[in-house]
Amino acid sequence: MSPSRASRRYFDPRFEATIITVAPGEHEITAAKDEIVATVLGSCVSVCMRDPQLGIGGLNHFLLPRSNGNHDAGAGERYGDTAMEVLINDLLKRGAKRNHFEAKVFGGARVLSGATMLAIGDNNVAFVTEFLNREGIPVVSKDVGGNRSRRIHYQPSTGRAWVQHVQPTARDSDQEQEIAYLNRLKTQPVAGEVEIFS
C-alpha cells in the first residue's frame, strides 16, 4: 500500500469501520466487510457500484462529464467517461460480473455561482444517467441535484450508503476546494437504500 493511500484511511467508531477517503479524480474498490469508501461532493458526481453477489464494489468521484478527446495520462478520472470505465474495469479485474452490477448515484448539486458553473452538476447527472442506462446497469437509488454539498459513505460489502447534506455557507471549504480544482483543470496540463444522517 502506498503512503498516500495509507494516509487516507482511518478508523471511524461511528461506523465501526475503516474509512477510505476518495479525492476528486480518483476511485477506490473494496470487498472488506469492515471498510467504507467516502467522499465529499458539490457539483461533482460519485457512482457507487457493486456486484452484490460477491460483495465487492467501489466509488468514483468525477468533476466533468466528458474528456472530449483529452487522453493525457493524468487527465483520467476527473472526467466521467473515463471514471466510469476505470471503475467498471477494476471491478471486473477483481472478479465482479458485469450483469450483476447495481449502482447508486450521488452529487451534482448547484453549489458554484455563475451560469456555466451552475450547469456542471446538471451535466454530470445527465451524463451518468445516460451512461448507466446505455450500459444496462440499474440505478437502485440516487440523491442528486439541489444546492447543498454531500458527504457520502458507502459500504460495498452490504450496498449500504449514507448521505449527509451539508448546509451551504458563504464560502465553505468544500466549495473552495471544488473551485480550486476546476481552476487547476483549466490552467494546468494534466500529465438500494440511502440513509440521510446529520
Catalytic positions are: 44
- Alpha-carbon distance of 94 to 116, in angstroms, equals 38
- The contacts of residue 110 (CB under 8 Å, 6+ apart) are 43, 118, 121, 122, 145, 146, 147
- What is the grid cell recorded at 167? 448546509
Which amino acid, residue 91? L
CA 65 to chain centre: 12
CA angle centred on 88, ends 32 and 72, rounded to 5°: 115
